[in-house]
Amino acid sequence: MTGTTARSVLVTGGNRGIGLAIARRFVTAGDRVTVTYRGEEPPAGENLLAVRCDVTDGEQVDQAFKEAEAAHGEVSVLVANAGFTQDRLLLRMTEDDFTSVVDTNLTGAFRVARRAVRGMLRAGHGRIVLISSTAALHGAPGQTNYAAAKAGLVGFARALTQELGARDITCNVVAPGLTETDMSRALTPEQRRELLRTTPAGRLGRPEEVADAVAFLAGAGYVRGAVIPVDGGAGLGH
């Protein structure tokens, strides 16, 4: 947290998994945190404002921001975390498998970032963190859709960084490797073993370890357009 002023933070998909760990980190820092959810609300007693929002719907995104702004003021830290996978080998992948994954993971981030930047430009300050994946950097079989969407976030962040120029608004990417959440629990034991074989840390990441990188970027003013891998060394830095 910069100084003693609580920031208005919005985390998409902050009801569970990595998003919830990120939201908790900001609450611990004294910030005012809004999380979006579609199905289940976050656990009670977390000191989070929970707002229903599907990031594939621009109107729901706008409404979520309005509720966050009404309760906590203009959003100054955005974490675009909502994501999902729909793995299939290319020849079996339907167009819907591809476009739905892109719509949530990439276009969803575009929708929330565009909505957030409006207020950040007015305030002259903002931090945007996009949750990508090591799949963006290395690819993975069965994930042409997901890898393309997550790689798209890197180009998006770098283009936006240049658009924002000298303003105090940053856009960076965090690229987790395999992390203990519902998403990774869907992997087969073979997929898990293979991923761990190429991970020097020899274990999966914890959601709190992704939150560490996000918290750093939310405080950093001179780190821009960067991709920070949180992958136990699997990509040896990238």
* Catalytic residue (one of 130, 146, 156, 164): 146
Instruction: Please say which residue, 31 or 87, places its beta carbon nearer to ligand NDP.
Output: 87
Whole-angstrom Cα distance, residue 150 to residue 135?
A: 7
Instruction: Please say which residue, 126 or 232, places its beta carbon nearer to ligand NDP.
Output: 232
Residues sharing a CB contact under 8 Å with residue 91, sequence separation 6 or more, in sequence order: none
Which of 133, 144, 170, 199 contacts ligand NDP by CB under 6 A?
133
Which of 7, 10, 16, 24 contacts ligand NDP by CB under 6 A?
16
Instruction: Please say which residue, 135 or 160, places its beta carbon nearer to ligand NDP.
Output: 135
146 is catalytic: yes
| Stretch of 16-24, 25-33, 151-159, 217-225 lying at the interface with ligand NDP (CB under 6 A) | 16-24
204 φ/ψ angles, rounded to the nearest 5 degrees: -75, 160
| Shortest distance, position 155 Cβ to ligand NDP, whole Å | 16
| Shortest distance, position 81 Cβ to ligand NDP, whole Å | 5
Q: Tell me how far CA of residue 172 lies from CA of 43, 53, 89, 110, in angstroms.
A: 28, 23, 30, 13
Helix ranges restricted to H, 15-90? 17-28, 58-72
54 near ligand NDP (CB under 6 A): yes
Which of 10, 33, 37, 128 contacts ligand NDP by CB under 6 A?
37
178 near ligand NDP (CB under 6 A): yes
| Stretch of 54-62, 65-73, 119-127, 154-162 lying at the interface with ligand NDP (CB under 6 A) | 54-62
Q: How would DSSP label each residue in 168-211? A: EEEEEEEEE-SBSSHHHHTS-HHHHHHHHHT-TT-S-B-HHHHH
Which of 18, 23, 48, 227 contacts ligand NDP by CB under 6 A?
18
Whole-angstrom Cα distance, residue 71 to residue 48?
A: 11
Interface map 192-231 toward ligand NDP (x if CB under 6 A) = ----------------------------------------
If one counts every other C-beta atom within 10 angstroms of the C-beta of residue 96, the result is 11
Instruction: Please say which residue, 142 or 176, places its beta carbon nearer to ligand NDP.
Output: 176
In degrees, to the nearest 5, what angle opens at C-alpha 87 toward C-alphas 51 and 43? 25
Whole-angstrom Cα distance, residue 179 to residue 182?
A: 9
Given a contact cutoff of 8 angstroms between Cβ atoms, the answer to whether 128 and 78 are in contact is: yes
Which residues are marked as active site? Answer: 146
Task: Write out the residues near ligand NDP by the rule CB under 6 A.
Answer: 12-13, 15-19, 36-40, 54-56, 81-84, 104, 108, 131, 133, 176, 178-179, 181-184
